[in-house]
Structures are given as structure tokens and as C-alpha cells.
Amino acid sequence: MSDIISIATIILAGITQASLQLGLGGLILLYHNSLGKHRRKKTRYLAKNYIIGSCAMTFLMVCTISFLIGNFFDGALAPEWLTVCAGIFAACGGIMCLFYYRSGKRTTELWLPKTFTRFIQKKARQTNDNVEAFSLGLLSSFAEMPFSIAIYFVVANCILHMSGMLQIVAAVSYAIFTAIPLVILKLHVKNGRSAVEAQKWRVQNKAFSRIFSGGAFMILAMFVVAYWVM
Amino acid sequence: MPRKKTKITYEYSASGVIDSIMRNARSIGLPEGWAKQIATRVAKETDKWIEDKELITENDLRKQIIKELKELNLDLAYAYQNHDKII
């Protein structure tokens, strides 16, 4: 399999993971709470650390799963396992389109256990220093795991097919790529807009983001089947 | 098995209302003086509304504050109403 197919799969997987909404919601929550009690400069540092935390978790997960595949799957996932991943993507695509957001409400609440959302809200409210913001970023990225675990397996498999130094570059690039929506939000707030405006945009375009995420998962499923299984 | 709900009562305070409005106002970048005016005015209206009531829920108070805020600043009302409904 050529490096180009691996890079294309990684980019598509990055777009799919970037379309997940929990990390973005966590950052908006952090902005909202932090701007209410801290100076803008401190909030900027907190947001930066949140984004670094989110990237770090993605990078660590990709590295860990690459290690697991390297040691327990003989260096590459068998087509059967990739078919399972494609099946999970297709299921995630369906779930995204139908159940990702709580229905009938003009909010962006996700179908997560209430205790868990309360925990993230509490942590976002209590975040006062950079380490807490970093760990909140780690936590929110980790919480996306039910949707992103299969993506990590496919990405790790692609990375293992690459040559030498390109593997590290690909893992780092993937981690940065998944944080693009967070960086866009940070720039948006830096340019004098409020997090509430971003939240309003999210509410207005809820259907679009649902279809975009669902479509990205479906396309990723087809891509994996077409280029890695067949 | 249904979970037992805990009933905790708090004393109403106008300063609590002002603080919560100010926090939301800062988060949307409203100038401090303007935010203070809005918060004080809403707290005054809420004081009047609560006068003849013995016991109210936190939700009732929230709804009343949102109603007042909607007349003064829509963005602030939106932030106050939705800050816990982001994820």
C-alpha cells in the first residue's frame, strides 16, 4: 500500500474525528466560565493548554494503539479487523445522523450520561490554572473514545504502513489536524468575538454538523473497505 | 429504582443574582458598567417579584431572571439561559 493512500486515510480520519463535538463544546464551556471570572490573557492561556491537552491525548492514543498493533497484530491489522472497523464507522455514521444530539431542543446537548456532562461542566467551572485546563483537554478527548477508538485503530494501522520518520510526522500531524476546530474557535475569540456567538452558530447549524459527521464516518467506512480490505 | 431527590432550601439574595448575571456578562464581553446596570435592574425586578412568595424553585427564579434579561439584552439572556446546555 503506497504512502499516498495512508496519508489520504489519515486526512479523512482526521476530518472525521475533528467533526466530533465534545471537545469543541468543552472549550466553549471553558471560555464561557473563564471569561466570567478571569482576565482575557489568562483565559487565552487556559484555552491554549486545553488544546494542547486534547492534542496530547490524541497523539498518545495513536502511539499506544500503534504499539499494540505492532506487538499483538504482527505489525498490521488483518482485513477482518479492518472490516470490523469499517462496520463500526458505518454504525457511528448512523448514530451521528440520528441520535448524536438530544432531540427536540434548541441546544447542542449530546447523548451523554447526565452525570458525565455534569462532571465536565463542574471541571470547566473550577478550571483556574493551566494544568487543570490541560487535564480537561485530555478528559474531553478521552470522552470521545466510543466514537474515536475505531478511528485510532485505522490511523495507527496506516501509520505502521509508512516508512521510518514519516510515522512520527504522521502521528503528530494527525493530532494537530484533529484540533483544527479548537484552533478556529480560539482565533474567533481572539478576534474579539464571544464564545456565545460560536455557540449560537453551533445551534443554528446543528443539522449540518450532524450530517457532516455522519457523512464523514460513512465515507471513511467506504474508503477503508475500498482501499484496505478489498 | 427511582433515585431519591434531595431537597435543599437556600435563602434568596439579590447579590447572588447580580453575581451570576455579571459572570455571564463578562463572558460575552459586555462593558463592566453596562453589565452592572443591567444586573442591578434585574435584581431589583426580581426582588419585587419574589416579595409575595414564600417558597420558589431555582428554576422559577432562573426563568424570571431570563424574562427580565430578554427585555434588556438578548445576548446576555441567551448566555444566561444556555450556559449549562452546551454539551
Instruction: Kindly identify which residue of chain B lies nearest to residue A124, measuring between CA atoms.
Output: B84
Instruction: Specify if B64 maps to a domain.
Output: yes
User: Mutating which of A196, A197, A199, A209 best tests the B interface, going by the most B Cβ atoms within 10 A?
Assistant: A196
Q: What is the pLDDT of residue A164?
A: 82
A110 DSSP assignment = B
Q: Does the CB of B24 have a partner CB in chain A at under 8 Å? A: yes
Q: Please give the mean pLDDT across all residues of chain A.
A: 92
DSSP state of A159: H
Q: What is the pLDDT of residue A41?
A: 87
Instruction: Say if B7 falls within a structural domain.
Output: no
Q: Is B25 a domain residue?
A: yes
- What grid cell was written down for A198? 460560536
**B6 lies in a domain?**
no
Let me know: does A158 contact A74? Beta carbons within 8 Å. no
Using CB atoms, pick whichever of B28, B79, B87 lies closest to residue A110. B87
- The whole-angstrom distance between A143's CA and the closest CA on chain B is 12
Cβ atoms within 10 Å, residue A103: 9
Residues in A closer than 8 angstroms to B28, CB to CB, are 35, 194-196
Neighbours of A120 (CB within 10 A): 21
Task: Convert the pLDDT of each residue in A11-50 to its tens digit.
Answer: 999 999 999 999 999 999 999 889 888 888 899 999 999 9
Q: Is residue B23 part of a domain?
A: yes
Q: Is pLDDT above 70 for A124? A: yes
**Count of structural domains, chain A:** 1
Using a CB-CB distance cutoff of 8 angstroms, which residues of chain B are in contact with residue A26? 87
Specify if B1 maps to a domain. Answer: no
Please report whether residue B32 resides in a domain.
yes
Range of the domain at A32: 3-229
DSSP codes joined into one string, A49-94: HHHHHHHHHHHHHHHHHHHHHHHHSTTS--HHHHHHHHHHHHHHHH
Could you tell me the pLDDT band of residue B3, with boundaries at 50, 70 and 90? low
Q: How many domains does chain B have?
A: 1
Q: Which residue of A has its CA nearest to B79?
A: A196
Give a yes or no: residue B33 inside a domain.
yes
Pick the more confident residue, B20 or A101: B20
pLDDT of residue A112: 80
pLDDT digits (tens, 9 = 90+) for B30-87: 899 999 999 999 999 999 999 888 888 889 999 999 999 999 999 899 999 988 888 8
ipTM of the complex: 0.79
A110, A120, A196: residue with CB nearest B79: A196
HSE, side-chain direction, 13 A CA sphere, residue B10: 10
Q: B51: domain range?
A: 14-82
